[in-house]
Amino acid sequence: MPVGKKIFWSGLGWVLAGPIGALVGFSLASFSEQPPEGSPYRTHYGPRKSPKDYPHTRPGDFAVSLLVLLGQVMKADEKLLKSELVFVKQFLTKHFGQENARDLMILFKDILKQDYPLPSICRQIKKEMDHAARLELIHGLFGLAHADGELHSLEDNVIRKICNYIGVSPSDFESMKAMFVGQTAGAYTILEMDSSASDTEVKRAYRKMATKYHPDKVAHLGEEFGQLAEEKFKAVNDAYEKIKSERNLN
């Protein structure tokens, strides 16, 4: 079975229940290959394990959730540009490979055609997805929204609203935003602290953020999103190094 189909059939769990399942179920069912024999997963037309059997977010759950939320961000300014679709395709190709990106783009274009209630979608994500994966979702949304070199206010508002719905704190929102949008106190914002903090508080904040954003936290999402996690972790380290240089810290 091609890797792309493995992502769907072995990596999908809870997304095909609830409002997300109603949104994407038909599209996934239209793919030519069916789940392999012996797979613990079946489509929403058949039995599947309880979400409680999946202590971590699975790769397919994350990928589909990201596409659904990305659709909301892209439609925020009521303009759908060809260049934006190119950005999405490049992002998916980078993290999943060309063959997988082709399947995911088919699904994404179908998602874009539909209207769906963001609060209900986000409630399902908050209920079923672990916190580290939710942070990774927001980082992915910022990365794609800023792919044209600018974060538009409407996109900012939608991502902020999504954070509120899925239980990502305002400080985490500002931290990840600062990784893409240059600010005077950007390094301090990334570490979720004020520039007036003491050297000891800076070191403590760095350890906390390094733990929160460490790639191992989302290793269960698979190698496909490893680079995305590394980018976020690198931003934390770069921010700390910048502050250390300014303060002459060892």
Cα 102 to Cα 53: distance, rounded to the nearest angstrom: 30
Task: Report pLDDT for 225.
Answer: 73
Cα 213 to Cα 232: distance, rounded to the nearest angstrom: 7
This prediction has a pTM of 0.80
Mean pLDDT within 30-50: 42
Task: Report pLDDT for 185.
Answer: 66
pLDDT tens readout for residues 140-154: 899 888 877 778 889
* DSSP element (H, E) containing 127: helix 118-128
Q: Buried b vs exposed e over 177-209: b needs ≥16 C-beta within 10 Å?
A: bbbbeeeeebbbbbbbbeeeeeeeebbebbeeb
Cα 14 to Cα 51: distance, rounded to the nearest angstrom: 6
Q: Buried b vs exposed e over 104-141: b needs ≥16 C-beta within 10 Å?
A: bbebbebbbeeeeebeebbbbbeebbbebbbbbbbbbb
